Amino acid sequence: MKLTIDGKQVEALAGQSLLDILKTMNMAGSTLLDMPIAAKIAGEVFNLNYIPLRTKDEEHERPSMRRAMAASNGAIQLLRLTDPAGRDVYDRTVQFVLFLALHQLWPNTRVKMGCTVGPALYVEVSEDGFDVEQLKAQVRKIIEQDIPLIRHRITTEEAMAHYKAVGQEDKAKLLSWRTIPVFDVYSYGDFMDYYYGELAPSTSYLRSWKILPAEGGFLFVYPDELNPEKTAHYEEMPNFMTVSNEGARWCELMGCETVADLNTLVESGKIRELIRVNEALHEKRFSQVADMVCQRGAKFVMLAGPSSSGKTTSANRLATQLRVHGKAPILMGLDDYYIDRELIQPGPDGTIDLEHINTIDTDLFRENLGDLLAGKEVEIPTFDFKTGSRVWKGHKMTLHENTVIIVEGLHALNPVLLPKDVDTTKIFKLYVSPLLPLNLDDHNRIPTSYLRLLRRTVRDFETRGSSVARTMSMWDSVRRGEKRWIFPFQEQADLIFNSSTLYELAVLKKHIYPLLDAVQPEEDCYDQVRGIVKVLNYVLEADVDDEIPPTSLVREFIGGNTFYK
């Protein structure tokens, strides 16, 4: 059987794994930067232990080509750590190794996947005798053992019985909502787990890592993205951890820590109460932010956040709360400070990066902000997105005694926007992000980026007529821009606002599932869609749009937000 791997042809033998084939071709690599970690075939990601051509057995009278290989005509694309899908494979492998080590050392303790903190992963451990040094030694041992990671299939009933027997009720409850009769797992000894996607070929692929102690658990530090042979530099993020811990308390308060809990609330009808409480928590938080702004005497609120975090609705809801204090808030968009498209210099690849700070006229914004604080009248530009150019419409602005200007935009926390001699007490920095604290189960967290992609996909389709494929084709670029221009400044915010809601997965499913279901295997985003669907398949759909207030952050994405009328 002829295969084409990254453009190179090779004759594959029956029973030979992709990894074995790569070794014969001298394509297995030697460093984390050049080592293939998985493969994409016909739009799907596969473990490198995958066998393209089965040997003949009782079921097959002769060697047979696997379904994906037939669909791709033998074409295979290798994935490395630098590929987003390859990084996901690496992250899941980290999870397997960590949870295996913890199981071997403390088999009866509860371990819970936490949030990503910069270049590190936080894991919560309830064991009183937990010791970081013991864990590091065990992880090192597992990596040195070079344990092959091969997925195998069992029935869903067998999986549920196993997890009940070992006391992992969270997984058993989640699987009770699974409608598919089979379940894929990775296992070693008496440990069995799954992370809703492929793993690396073996444990030895974890090369550069560090484990640090943290309150209530530990931090696993990933390889440096630019130089994976060394561990990334980690700096503590107390503001981020504070809001993350607050999210966990919200889960406990509302009795909704996992998707299984959410499904129970949907089934019983109590999701309506969940919506009311969640929205009340948001309203209380916006009120607290307004209190902080007024107590400081700030004249500008610089509001930033990643794509689909709910910045526009947050700005409007904060404005409402400021009016309660007798303020006269004015909304200002950084987008109006875009320079003309024709003046933007393309990058080395010939494309224009619209998320680069250089697309903003930072000099003009600094000048305007300084003049406003000095009591001067300023004319504010308007950016015409149809023509791609700045226009002047006589929009003038002055700071009065009760004025607070809310500046919303991707780069709002970038210090380059502020004059060097600015009175920092006049500036309040607010970072908004949907830091969803809901887990699938104890070992599988639903990433913030997952929720934001769902939100953006629904919004782009509903309001901009954008297809799923188009939205997802831009997502990697969006994420790269966020890493460069947003995330480095989030810890400098005076406050981080968690704009997620625990109920919205159940609500978004109704809006997005038909769109995802229409994506075909030949489309580039097919594997990305499959990953989303794997999670949504566990979520019980909730038809409760009538319960969601018109000013809710969720309304920014599903429609019906009165701030847009």
User: For the segment 28-50, what is each residue's pLDDT rounded down to a tens digit?
Assistant: 999 999 999 999 999 899 999 99
52, 108: one domain: no
pLDDT band at 348 (very low <50, low <70, confident <90, very high): confident
pLDDT value at position 59? 54
pLDDT value at position 63? 61
448, 542: one domain: yes
We report the CATH number of the domain holding residue 121 as 3.30.980.10
35, 162: one domain: no
Range scoring the smallest mean pLDDT among 72-86, 211-225, 350-364, 407-421: 350-364
354, 498: one domain: yes
pLDDT value at position 61? 53
Q: Taking residues 228-252, what's their average pLDDT?
A: 93
> In this structure, is residue 233 part of a structural domain?
no
Among 80, 107, 129, the domain boundary falls at 80
381, 519: one domain: yes
Residue 371 in this model has a pLDDT that exceeds 80: yes
Mean pLDDT of the chain, nearest integer? 93
pTM, two decimals, is 0.91
Among 167, 188, 221, the domain boundary falls at 221
Q: Taking residues 513-539, what's their average pLDDT?
A: 89
We report the CATH number of the domain holding residue 332 as 3.40.50.300
pLDDT value at position 565? 67
Residue 247 in this model has a pLDDT that exceeds 70: yes
pLDDT band at 347 (very low <50, low <70, confident <90, very high): confident
66, 99: one domain: no
43, 172: one domain: no
> In this structure, is residue 535 part of a structural domain?
yes
Among 54, 80, 106, the domain boundary falls at 80
Q: What does residue 167 show for φ and ψ, rounded to 5 degrees?
A: 85, 15
497, 408: one domain: yes
> In this structure, is residue 232 part of a structural domain?
no
Q: First and final CA of the chain: distance in angstroms?
A: 60
Q: Which two tokens stand for residue 521?
A: 């295997």
**Domains identified in the chain, total number:** 3
Highest mean pLDDT among 226-230, 257-261, 384-388: 257-261
Q: What is the pLDDT of residues 155-174, one digit of tens each?
A: 999 999 999 999 999 999 99
pLDDT value at position 57? 57
Strand positions, DSSP E, 132-214: 152-155, 182-188, 191-193, 210-214
418, 555: one domain: yes
> In this structure, is residue 278 part of a structural domain?
yes
H/E element, 54 = strand 53-54
pLDDT band at 62 (very low <50, low <70, confident <90, very high): low
pLDDT band at 54 (very low <50, low <70, confident <90, very high): confident
Cα gap 292→318, rounded to integer Å: 11
> In this structure, is residue 125 part of a structural domain?
yes
67, 122: one domain: no
Q: Taking residues 174-202, what's their average pLDDT?
A: 94
122, 76: one domain: no
Residue 385 in this model has a pLDDT that exceeds 90: no
112 in Cβ contact with 59 (< 8 Å): no
217, 302: one domain: no
pLDDT value at position 289? 98
Residue 58 in this model has a pLDDT that exceeds 80: no
Cα gap 413→302, rounded to integer Å: 6
| Residue 362: Cβ within 10 Å count | 18
Q: What is the pLDDT of residues 409-427, one digit of tens each?
A: 999 999 999 999 999 999 9
> In this structure, is residue 227 part of a structural domain?
no
pLDDT value at position 399? 95
Residue 534 in this model has a pLDDT that exceeds 80: yes
pLDDT value at position 86? 95
pLDDT value at position 361? 95
> In this structure, is residue 382 part of a structural domain?
yes
Domain span at residue 524 reads: 238-564
> In this structure, is residue 228 part of a structural domain?
no
pLDDT value at position 345? 80
Query: Helix H segments across 303-351?
Result: 311-324
Q: Taking residues 432-452, what's their average pLDDT?
A: 93
pLDDT-above-70 percentage for the chain = 98
